[in-house]
Structure 1
Amino acid sequence: MEVSSLEHTTTMEYAKELIEVAIQSMTKEMVDEITKKAIASVELIDDIAQPETIELLKKLPDVSESLSRSLDEIKKLEQTGSLQTLIEVAEMIAAAKVSMTSTMVLDIVEKAIAGVELADDLTQKGAIPLATNMIASFTEAMDEYEDKQPLSLLQLAKSMKDPNVRKGLSILVSFLKRFANG
């Protein structure tokens, strides 16, 4: 549908008159408030129109699902209080970082390296299976003697006939000698 130039002129004049009436009906305070909002809007548009913001907005559709999941997880952390705990831990680490001297950091790093070396050495010597076996053996022994009286001296002497008991005691005595020497 084509608009004739007479209709267009009439429409433009009507719009112009409408704007003039609206302007005349406004107080100075209303004009000031509208002007402030217009300036704030232009500044916001200018901030959004920055190249880095535009690039970020272009990436948004590709990462929206991941971002949504991340925000859900952050909300859960906040609801359980874990987010506040993480913030407190981060603040504590930051405070420790600021208060530590290079000597302190070196000392901590040396101790951490020594701990890793010790853990590696113990692992290579079979400490994990040994510790697992010790825990299982201790648990079984505690369960076995839970409601029983301690062995008498005669019962202890008789148990020395068992080669496993002798081997275990021999290892224990050897360990205790070495442990006492430091």
Structure 2
Amino acid sequence: MAQPARKMVGPEKLEPELPDRSRKILDLLSAGMDSLEPSVIQNLVGNLVRLGEIADEFSRPEMQALLREVAGAGSSLRGLIAEIKELQETGTMDALLELGSTLQAMKDSLTPGVVAGVLRQLVNALAMLDRIQAFRGDRLVEGMVAALKEAVGENKDKSPQGLLSILRQLNNPEARKGLSIFASFLQKLPAHLN
């Protein structure tokens, strides 16, 4: 049999002698590789190529900057994770998810007619607030609230008054004026409700 042509300049160099343990490991790896089927080797090589591509992605300056940012934000991320865990443990997360689902269902159910109706009501409410403001209704409401607070405070620890005592209070000009305004209001209300 012919041997391949080799250019021999000196004595043939042999592989360096490996320690016994290294030789056994090398023999084991070699035996393992020899026992693999071609499809397994092809899959292994494909995974190694993908691993090399991933390593290449991680070596890009943008990726390294992102990794440095993530490392710097570690304490913030830990805090966020703790907050989310607490929300899950207290059941708040479930409530928030349910609220989100409800809002999404409401959003999905909005039709042009519904939107137009809501906008019409909003415009009417704004017009009414404008009329109240022009009439100085804010002062009227504040006055009513203040008078109610004062009346409740005056009668808090008192026993209920008798009918004659209430009628005697009508002799007070301020009480009669308030009652007249209220009676006039009651007379005019039905016309505005129709």
TM range (shorter): 0.5 to 0.7
Look up the match of 2:90.
80
Distance 2:172 2:18 in 1: 113
Look up the match of 1:107.
117
Shift of 1:155: 2.0
Q: Which moved more, 1:81-90 or 1:123-132?
A: 123-132
1:130 counterpart letter in structure 2: G
Look up the match of 1:160.
170
TM-score, normalised relative to structure 2? 0.59
In the alignment, structure 1 residue 98 sits paired with structure 2 residue 111? no
Aligned residues: CA RMSD: 4.3
Q: Which moved more, 1:155-164 or 1:118-127?
A: 118-127
Q: 1:81 to 1:103 in 2, by over 3 A?
A: same
Distance 1:10 1:120 in 2: 99
Distance 1:90 1:48 in 2: 40
Look up the match of 2:181.
171
Quote the sequence identity (%).
18
Q: Which moved more, 1:81-90 or 1:97-106?
A: 97-106
Shift of 1:73: 2.6
In the alignment, structure 1 residue 46 sits paired with structure 2 residue 54? yes
Distance 2:49 2:173 in 1: 90
Distance 1:173 1:47 in 2: 86
Question: How far does the alpha carbon of each residue in 1:18-40 deviate from its partner, in whole angstroms, 9 at most, with x for none?
Answer: 14315636986xxx6xx67x939
Distance 2:155 2:172 in 1: 19
Question: How far does the alpha carbon of each residue in 1:99-134 deviate from its partner, in whole angstroms, 9 at most, with x for none?
Answer: 221221222233234435545665663256335425
In the alignment, structure 1 residue 20 sits paired with structure 2 residue 27? yes
TM-score, normalised relative to structure 1? 0.62
Look up the match of 1:126.
138
Q: Which runs of 5+ in 1 are unaligned?
A: 1-8
Q: Which moved more, 1:165-174 or 1:59-68?
A: 59-68
Distance 1:119 1:48 in 2: 65
Distance 1:135 1:47 in 2: 75
Q: How many equivalent residue pairs?
A: 166
Distance 1:40 1:150 in 2: 95
Q: 1:107 to 1:180 in 2, by over 3 A?
A: same
Larger radius of gyration: 2
Q: Is the partner of 2:162 in helix, strand or coil? A: coil
